[in-house]
Chains A and B, each alone.
Chain A
């Protein structure tokens, strides 16, 4: 060992832990539908808010969302960003667009990708629809949807999306 070498000031101690992950009963019901190419939200029995993807509870009311609500795969962009850094383990090439997608009939948004349109054209309120993978590739995941692409319908005023308890 050369006398020039600096002593190490750290040691690597890798931690590898495995967990058996369960999605929860409510999410399981949702994912079983996604596997069939269907998007089914769940509504709160108290305030009637529709959640997709559902987590099993309504944070407004603190009760289980036990009402199934079939939804289409159309919606609008509630907000979005253009991402310039790559995602570890994902082949997608930056810049790409991540958006908060509000499906028609749902009261919350979820994050997904927007493709099939020039980035400059993307607007808040733009109407979009899911582009699915081939049916043979469907699993229990929203990854069955490759991305959302614009459709030829007039933009939505996102202010109207704000949930109001009826």
Chain B
């Protein structure tokens, strides 16, 4: 497999409400930051790909707005996925592996504050039987949490730990939205939204944007002596029918682990796209990360920009490897209710 490296990542400070800033004004600073850092501009980018969601923005074709942030004169090779930007990165990686590009710019953006995220995400379900019931994303996650608690795969203590740790770790990420610490009694006193989840178990409503630049291994050496390479990457989707899935395990993640030969593999660090508290201990146990520092950035519980959080997990893993004397990192991105669609990214820093 032709190797591809991440050579840059930037994240806009996560906001609870971006106010008058529109998508273009959120994207431009992160893209420019990356260009300045690497000393390049759009002419050095062979392929551009973005991830966003029209329904999140509130209008058909709304994703086109994002492209105004990019220099498109002369016309560029560009595409877009209506998915988390982690998948835009995946598409860009394939372009490089094909030989059709040496560098790619990826960006994601999302403002959850303008709309009602619960209602919007209900439209991800079967439109004939399920969506008309308007099952919100918190209740759907709660279904899975209940299954995991009943089977003792996850405990309430672990959920509490996930919440507390996330806030402790958020000090490591200057862009995090939430950084105030909480204690056990505050957590336990919090009203349940959809049992067993309370507000702390859920990610905050977030606005923001993120960008990443990837390059072929050869090209990466023009920018760094120690490129951080994508050693392995795999993603799979499960059935949309919740009733036909075993919510206490993840067939898609297990299949990716097998395919990437990551069973019993030792990572130094990991960032998981775990939006709800219980997902963290669940995935750590599935992915063999119980002893691995995970979500040192705080993860989605302290800042969860829709359509970016998956890319952010990959970006934060990259940053951990780049800034520390660490060798191997694992990133996870997810889409759909109850972790329906998952991606694993195995990153390694050249020694």
Are A17 and B131 closer than 8 Å at their CB atoms?
A: no
Partner-contacting stretch, out of A59-67, A93-101, A117-125: A59-67
Q: A19-B114, A20-B115, A55-B24 are in contact. List 4 more A-B contacts (CB 8 A).
A: A22-B22, A23-B20, A24-B21, A64-B25
Q: Which 7 A-B pairs have the closest CB atoms?
A: A62-B71, A24-B22, A19-B58, A60-B73, A13-B132, A20-B114, A19-B115
Task: Mark out the residues of chain B between 53 and 92 whose CB falls within 8 Å of any chain A CB in the assembled complex.
Answer: 55, 58, 67-73
Nearest chain B residue, comparing its CB with the CB of A25: B20
Interface SS of chain A: helix, strand, loop or mixed? loop
**Count class of interface residues, chain A:** 20 to 34
For A17, give its contact among B32, B58, B72 (CB under 8 Å).
B58
Interface SS of chain B: helix, strand, loop or mixed? loop
Are A24 and B123 closer than 8 Å at their CB atoms?
A: no
- Chain B positions within 8 Å of A22 at CB level: 18-22, 114
State in angstroms the CA–CA spacing of A24 and B111 once bound together: 12
CB distance from B33 to the nearest CB of A (A): 13
CB distance from B78 to the nearest CB of A (A): 12
CB distance from B56 to the nearest CB of A (A): 9
State in angstroms the CA–CA spacing of A79 and B72 once bound together: 24
The contact sample of 18 A-B pairs, CB cut-off 8 A, is A17-B116, A18-B115, A18-B116, A19-B58, A20-B114, A21-B114, A22-B18, A22-B20, A22-B21, A24-B22, A28-B20, A57-B28, A57-B68, A57-B69, A60-B71, A62-B72, A63-B32, A63-B71
Q: In this assembly, does A15 line the interface, its C-beta being within 8 Å of a C-beta of chain B?
A: yes
Are A20 and B22 closer than 8 Å at their CB atoms?
A: no
Nearest chain B residue, comparing its CB with the CB of A20: B114
Q: In this assembly, does B113 line the interface, its C-beta being within 8 Å of a C-beta of chain A?
A: yes
Complex interface bits, B112-150 against A, C-beta within 8 A gives 1, otherwise 0: 011110011001000110011000000000000000000
Complex interface bits, A4-27 against B, C-beta within 8 A gives 1, otherwise 0: 000000010101011111111111
- Chain B positions within 8 Å of A27 at CB level: 22
- Given A17-B116, A17-B120, A55-B68; A61-B22 close (CB under 8 Å): no
Are A63 and B73 closer than 8 Å at their CB atoms?
A: no
State in angstroms the CA–CA spacing of A141 and B73 once bound together: 29
Are A59 and B73 closer than 8 Å at their CB atoms?
A: yes
Task: Mark out the residues of chain A between 1 and 57 whose CB falls within 8 Å of any chain B CB in the assembled complex.
Answer: 11, 13, 15, 17-28, 55-57
For A57, give its contact among B24, B127, B131, B132 (CB under 8 Å).
B24
State in angstroms the CA–CA spacing of A103 and B132 once bound together: 48
Nearest chain A residue, comparing its CB with the CB of B23: A24
- Chain A positions within 8 Å of B71 at CB level: 59-63
